[in-house]
Amino acid sequence: MKRGSIRGLLGKNRFSRSFSHSSVNVIESVPKFPPNSTIFSLIQPTGKIHLGNYLGAIRNWKDLSESQSPGTKYIFGIADLHAITVPQNPAKLKENRYEAIASLLSAGIDPDACILYHQSSVPEHTELNWILTCITSMGSLNRMTQWKSKSQQIETSTIFDEDVLGKTKAGLLCYPVLQAADILIFKSTHVPVGDDQSQHLELCRNIASTFNHTFKTNYFPLPSTLLTPAKKMLSLRNPTKKMSKSDADQNSCIYVTESPDAIAKKIKKATTDSIQGKIYYDPENRPGISNLINIISGLSRKSVVDTVEDLSWVKDHKQLKDHVTELIVEEFTDKRHLFNELMTDFSYLDSICKVGTTKAREITSVNIQEIKKIVGLD
């Protein structure tokens, strides 16, 4: 596999609006970062990526890495340590790690322009994690919502309830600290995430601030959250819930690697409604139609308002579904071919990660020594 083939299959997209400096920003275009920024994000290795992963994270990473800000580092990777907060089959986890790297490459992430690696290959992540765990309150972790959903607890649950405490693994409760360590070990300045992670990014800023205050330093920058412009992709079969590869009904989810026929069949079965005539956006009363509009909006990089205006020619649900199918097939065809090619060459994927790990550790090994000196562990 030649690296040039990765870049050759996918064109580059450029935008022009400038970047605003608040702690949470919605990316309406590729921002202009201050020189020497560090852009960082990880994705969990949960197998082949679906449409929501692609529009919500990976395409955004590609766009950001093409912003060409002087001296800026782009660091993207696979959060394999986060994956084991819930039980994993070892063989399946290994396969998922390869699929995750292949997915990033096939989506256009350029390993020459970015650092691309597996989280577990950089031990400084876990070393900083312990230091930060020691200054993070249990109350802060208890207020996080994701551990509750992943341990199947209600939103009002508290870790201090004996029944909840017995059912919740420590790793699941504490992984937001590891997430903070992931970000801070690189002294990251900007973190692109979906809105479901914004709470964890706020905790990361609080942990960084606590560290700086405790040790009377300004060592860690307080990273800005970059929220993806794409709306959350919902289940094709039940548009009241998020699109997920764990859904028992696999017709609810479209994968980047699926054939045009498979995509067409899934879109054909997508839930709409009985309202005939003009297509319009109404997530409350027309969730299925609105979900399809969001897909078109994300793929075309246009606002929902402009997307609805562009759909004025659509007269019925079939025309809308045919149009959605055409857009998805066009977006994913080259990516599917490249993914399949990459998955026949694990040695190439290993070589990409090895180079990325070396580059990552050139940064993290220096930073952890400085952190240890601040803490008194040098």
**Sheet holding 24-26: strands in order across?**
24-26, 224-227, 190-193, 38-43, 73-78, 115-118
Of 80, 5, 81, nearest to 47 by C-alpha is: 80
d(CA 33, CA 71): 10
Angle, CA 44 vertex, CA 41 and CA 48 arms, to 5°? 115
Instruction: Read off the DSSP letter of residue 252.
Output: G
* CB atoms closer than 10 angstroms to residue 29: 16
Active site residues: 150, 242, 245
d(CA 341, CA 189): 35
Please, how many CA atoms are within 13 Å of residue 239, restricted to the half-sphere of its CB?
23
d(CA 174, CA 230): 29
Identify the residue whose tokens are 């089959």. 89
